[in-house]
Every structure is written in structure tokens, then in C-alpha cells.
Structure 1
């Protein structure tokens, strides 16, 4: 990370807008994913391909309905597998995004 960005992050923490650098980074990531939803979709696809989340959870992360998400996987020739419960997926997602 550039020193200018580090200085800006440190300043936001120092003046009290955030409690920690992690808070700044988490907020920045949320804003980025809102601005560029295709990145959220790519994260969901990667998590799904690596078996870290279920198909249902991946579609939720991508903020797409299940059929739309399955269509994207199909176009990319990604095999659709069925496994795990929603609770198992939620737990794995918490571990992946432990922020």
C-alpha cells in the first residue's frame, strides 16, 4: 500500500472517524463492492469453485437469484455441485470474511 494511502487511513483513525485501520478497510471494501457489483460476483464464483460456500450462499453473496447465478456458472463451464446446509455455508463464509 502506498504511503499516501497509509497516511490517509491513519488520519481517519486518529481523528476518530474509525476505531481501527481494519474498520477503514472493511468500509472501503463494502463501498467498492457496492460500486462494482461484478467484483462481488467474482468473489462468489471463486468461493463456490473452491468449495468454500454452497451454490445457494454464492448466489446470495453475488446478490443474484439462484437461477441467474447458475446461468453464469454454466456459461463459464463451472460444474454445479450440491452440498452443505445454509448453516454450514454461513459458518464457512464467516471464516473466510472474518473482519
Structure 2
């Protein structure tokens, strides 16, 4: 049961991060297209705002500063554990520990 719950929240975070990256790529493509062609940007997708808000809400539930940084790097920015470790100047094992600890906290918090 516990592993299923952790898996569920992990998938939810990954989905939210994927949506955020997808909308950021779309936004960047529109900006490039606009600057190249001189036409106005298209309307912003309302799902972009919702995905960003959902991701922020999940991250704000994590009480550990390092945990939030690790989760943002791994899920929102799509970095590997090694890349996140190098950026945060901690070991890869530290990144793994903070990820596990943060996911466990989210599971307990959201499982009410």
C-alpha cells in the first residue's frame, strides 16, 4: 500500500513537471516565432498557469529547503540526480536522500 502511494505521488509530480516543461517549450517556441516573423504571440494556454500553480503547491508542502530544491531540479527542470547534485553542490546520494525524504513527506501530507 505504501509503495503504491509513493508511486502515485511520484507519477503526479512527474506529470506536473512534464506539463510545466512542455508549456515552457511551447512558450519559448512562440517567442522565437514571434521575434523571427514579427507577428504577435498567440494567447497563453490556460493549462500552463494551472500546471505551474499545482507544481508550486506541491513544492510548498515540502518543509525542507534542500528537498524543494532537489524536487524542483529533478521534476520541474528535468535534471538527472547527478546534474542536480553538481548544481546544488551535494552528493548524488544526498540528492537521492532528499528526494526520498520529500516524496515520503508529500505522501504523508497528501494521504490525510
Normalising by structure 1, we get a TM-score of: 0.31
Normalising by structure 2, we get a TM-score of: 0.29
Q: Which has the higher helix share?
A: 2
Higher RCO (CA-CA < 8 Å; seq separation 6+): 2
